[in-house]
Amino acid sequence: MQALIAVLAGDGIGPEVTDQAVRVLAAIAGRAGHSFGFEPALLGGAAIDATGEALPAATLDLCRRSDAILMGAVGGPRWSGPQATVRPEQGLLQLRKALGLFANLRPVTPHPAILHASPIKAELLHGVDIMVVRELTGGIYFGDKQRSATEAVDVCRYTVVEIERVVRLAATLAQGRRRKLTSVDKANVLETSRLWRAVVERILPGEFPGVGFEHMLVDAAAMHLIRRPRDFDVIVTENMFGDILTDEASMLAGSLGMLPSASLGASGRGGLYEPIHGSAPDIAGRGIANPYATILSGAMMLRYSLRLESEALAIEAAVSKAIVSGALPADIAPPGSAVSTRAAGDAVLAALQSP
CATH number at residue 337: 3.40.718.10
pLDDT reading at 82 higher than 80: no
Please provide the average confidence, as pLDDT, over all residues in the chain: 96
Residue 49 among the catalytic residues: no
pLDDT reading at 128 higher than 80: yes
Which pLDDT score, from 0 to 100, does residue 24 have?
98
Residue 61 among the catalytic residues: no
The 10 Å Cβ neighbour count of residue 149 is 5
Q: Which domain holds residue 33?
A: 1-101+267-355
Catalytic residue among 19, 129, 154, 243: 243
Hey, what amino acid is at 278?
G
Residue 219 among the catalytic residues: yes
Q: Are residues 246 and 199 in the same domain?
A: yes
- Render pLDDT for 175-213 as a digit per residue (tens, 0 to 9): 999 999 999 999 999 999 999 999 999 999 999 999 999
Which pLDDT score, from 0 to 100, does residue 148 have?
94
State percent of the chain over pLDDT 70: 100
Residue 243 among the catalytic residues: yes
Q: Are residues 271 and 249 in the same domain?
A: no
Q: Are residues 197 and 277 in the same domain?
A: no
Q: Are residues 351 and 271 in the same domain?
A: yes
- In the chain, the number of structural domains is 2
pLDDT reading at 137 higher than 80: yes
Residues contacting 206, CB < 8 A, separation 6+: none
State percent of the chain over pLDDT 90: 95
Burial call 74-95: b when 16+ CB within 10 Å, e when fewer: bbbeebeeeeeeebbbbbbbbb
Residue 282 among the catalytic residues: no
Q: Which of 226, 253, 280 is the last residue of a domain?
A: 253
Catalytic residue among 19, 129, 247, 346: 247
Q: Which of 196, 220, 253 is the last residue of a domain?
A: 253
Is residue 114 a part of any domain in this protein?
no
- Read off the pLDDT band of 355 (50, 70, 90): confident
Is residue 262 a part of any domain in this protein?
no
Is residue 147 a part of any domain in this protein?
yes
- Read off the pLDDT band of 227 (50, 70, 90): very high
Q: Which of 253, 280, 299 is the last residue of a domain?
A: 253
